[in-house]
Structure 1
Amino acid sequence: MKKVLLLLGIAMAISCNSNGEGNKSQEATENVAKKVLPTASVKHITKAEYLQLVYNYEKNPKTFVYEGKIPAIVDFYADWCGPCKRVAPILDKLAAKYAGKINIYKVDVDAEKDLAGAHGIQSIPTMILFPMGGQPQVVQGALPEDQLEAAIQQVLLAPQKTN
């Protein structure tokens, strides 16, 4: 109980500064936290960005070469697709949770027909998981958050086996 009161007293002393310095200190702390803590969101990409950030299948048509610096998920979706709409907030949440560890990209199949066709996308949502080592893995359908998170852990963040 004494520890709680001591902590409350310290908090009040810092926040109740009559000249406003306590608020400035709090603002400075919040600004530092914003800069230090990674934040991420799902990024919508075009074919040109995909070729640069993920896989340039035009330059390497026979051999898969991942272009990314960290593992990624690419969600092939359409605005009119109900299951795609259900997955979107889950991907937003996972992008924030795994900021700095994975990238999550979205590709609109209606706007990027060539890209979707090059990967044989016939149903949506289709997600391709790109680990740092090994081959990409395809996941189809509106998976629940726990299954997507398990895929992230098993495919993208687990140590890759070398042959």
Structure 2
Amino acid sequence: MKKLLLTLTAFAVIFSACGNQKPGTKENQEIAGTVAKANASTGSERLDKAKFVQKVWDYTKSPNDWKYLGTKPAIIDFYADWCGPCKIAGPILEEIGNEYAGKIQVYKINTDQERELAQVFGITGIPAFLYIPAKGKPVMMSGIGRSKEETKKMFVENIEKYLLVKK
């Protein structure tokens, strides 16, 4: 009986402590503002299906006709949280997104959460990267370099070759 009472008391304390913060408190609003600023300052944007069809390509309306909806060239990083090479490529792409701010857009799609988008592009291995020029057809590539430096060099070379081509 004492164990049951002690267990119930412990649960009551835990649940009352967890529910103590009100969503509208000034402290919570400041935290939310800080998180929003941090997300805005990163060099990439996460996409789900709704954002993808709005910003990149509405494959639901024209599945056989590629029509890029963006104004700037873009890279899409198809990744998963558990993928080791993806964890290496992600921060490098964020850095590149900041370095090329205003020239290219970097998007990220989590293939575990957005399986349909991965299927649309036939992605069977990650990391995979879709290089989308402002005009023309996209180019899909996969894999990273043997080091962070080689990986960054690979991204920069591909950006110059496929995205920032002077025509």
Amino acid at match of 1:124: I
Matched, 1:55 2:57: yes
Name the structure 2 match of 1:154: 161
* Code of the aligned partner of 1:99: A
Structure 2 residues not aligned, in runs of 5+? 1-40, 146-150
TM-score normalised to the size of structure 1?
A: 0.72
Output the CA distance in 2 between the equivalents of 1:112 and 1:152.
Answer: 25
The reply on whether 1:77 has 2:79 as its aligned counterpart is yes
Moved over 4 A (4+): none
Task: Give the TM-score normalised by structure 2.
Answer: 0.70
Partner of 1:141: 143
Pairwise CA distance, 1:56: 1.0
- Three-state SS of the structure 2 residue aligned to 1:129 is strand
Asked whether the 8 Å contact 1:40–1:100 carries over to 2, the reply is no
Which amino acid in structure 2 is aligned with residue 156 of structure 1?
L
**Does the CA-based 8 Å contact 1:40-1:99 persist in structure 2?**
no
What SS does the aligned partner of 2:108 have? strand
Instruction: Report the CA distance between 1:159 and its aligned residue.
Output: 2.2
Q: What SS does structure 2 have at the residue aligned with 1:104?
A: strand
Q: Post-superposition shift, 1:40?
A: 5.2
In 2: Cα distance, 1:123 partner to 1:48 partner: 23
- Percent identity between the two aligned chains: 39
Matching residue's letter, 1:44: R
* Aligned counterparts of 2:90 and 2:155: Cα–Cα separation in 1: 12
Select the residue among 122, 125, 128 that pairs with 2:127: 125
Q: How many residues align?
A: 122
Tell me how far apart the structure 2 counterparts of residues 97 and 61 of structure 1 sit (CA, whole Å): 33
- C-alpha distance in 2, partners of 1:132/1:73? 11
Which amino acid counterpart does residue 115 of structure 1 have in structure 2? Answer: L
Partners of 2:135 and 2:166 lie apart in 1 by 9
CA RMSD, Structure 1 to Structure 2 (Å): 1.1
Residue 113 (str. 1) matches residue 115 (str. 2): yes
**For residue 36 of structure 1, what is the aligned residue in structure 2?**
none
